[in-house]
Amino acid sequence: MEPGTLVYDPQTNRVGEYRDRTGPYVMLRPVGGGREWQADPARIREATLDERLSAGVRALNDRSREGLSADPARPPSPVPGCATCGELALRRDRARAAFDGSAVTDVNVLLRQHQRDDHGGEPAGRRIFRYVPYTIVQDASARPEYEAYCVSGEEEDCGAGSGPCQAPGEVEEWQRRHTQETRHLRYRRSFADYAVLEQVTARSAP
């Protein structure tokens, strides 16, 4: 049996990673790491897919309680050509077809763990964006714009507009002139400016 093979030990009712033989016993290590234990080589067998999935989920839950769980924000994609990725992806497809959301989540956790351990991360082309604090400020190099539209009218709006203005007083003056000419009293006004995001930097303590 090759080292690293996941096997089921009926004596302890556990799935472990085959390590090596030591005298009349074989050494198994818990999935996800931990203290090894001895097992009878005549009784162990290769773990089934369900047993491997359950053991993997249990190990990741243990790690989660220690604050080491992977980010489950998005489902991982299988790495092309990887048999383990393909097997897990097939399992996930079956769970989706059965509308088993819990099983889908379990497989996503295992697939992410496998990719981190065996592929050094997720497939190329997928990026994780970390939160970076920004503050939004008005761009002082660009002037804001003010504008008004006449929406007076019973069946349809007048539609006349002031055009972009650089100050609110200019828009108000256009409104006065338009009302004097047409007796229209209702306007929709808009304001537009330019904003920039500036990264917040931590200030050093005095």
Residue range 166-185, pLDDT digits in tens: 888 898 999 999 999 999 99
The verdict on 111 and 40 lying in the same domain is yes
The verdict on 109 and 176 lying in the same domain is no
pLDDT category at 69 given cuts 50, 70, 90 is: very low
Is the pLDDT at 81 greater than 90, yes or no? no
| Average pLDDT in the chain | 79
- Which residues on neighbouring strands pair with residue 190, listed in sequence order? 147
The verdict on 161 and 87 lying in the same domain is no
Q: How many domains does the chain have?
A: 2
Q: Tell me what the mean pLDDT of segment 18-31 comes to.
A: 88
Of 86, 118, 150, the residue that ends a domain is: 118
The verdict on 64 and 94 lying in the same domain is yes
The verdict on 109 and 143 lying in the same domain is no
pLDDT category at 74 given cuts 50, 70, 90 is: low
Tell me the pLDDT tens digit for each residue of 91-150: 888 887 777 777 888 888 888 888 777 776 554 444 444 555 667 777 777 788 889 989
On whether residue 70 sits in a domain, the answer given is: yes
The verdict on 100 and 150 lying in the same domain is no
Q: How far apart are CA 98 and CA 89, in angstroms?
A: 14
Q: Sign of dihedral through CA atoms 8, 9, 13, 14?
A: negative
Q: Tell me what the mean pLDDT of segment 9-26 comes to.
A: 89
Q: Tell me what the mean pLDDT of segment 39-54 comes to.
A: 89
pTM more than 0.85:
no
Is the pLDDT at 203 greater than 70, yes or no? no
On whether residue 130 sits in a domain, the answer given is: no
The verdict on 108 and 53 lying in the same domain is yes
On whether residue 59 sits in a domain, the answer given is: yes
For residue 35, give its domain range: 6-118
The verdict on 13 and 106 lying in the same domain is yes
On whether residue 126 sits in a domain, the answer given is: no
The verdict on 18 and 80 lying in the same domain is yes
Q: What pLDDT score does 63 carry?
A: 60
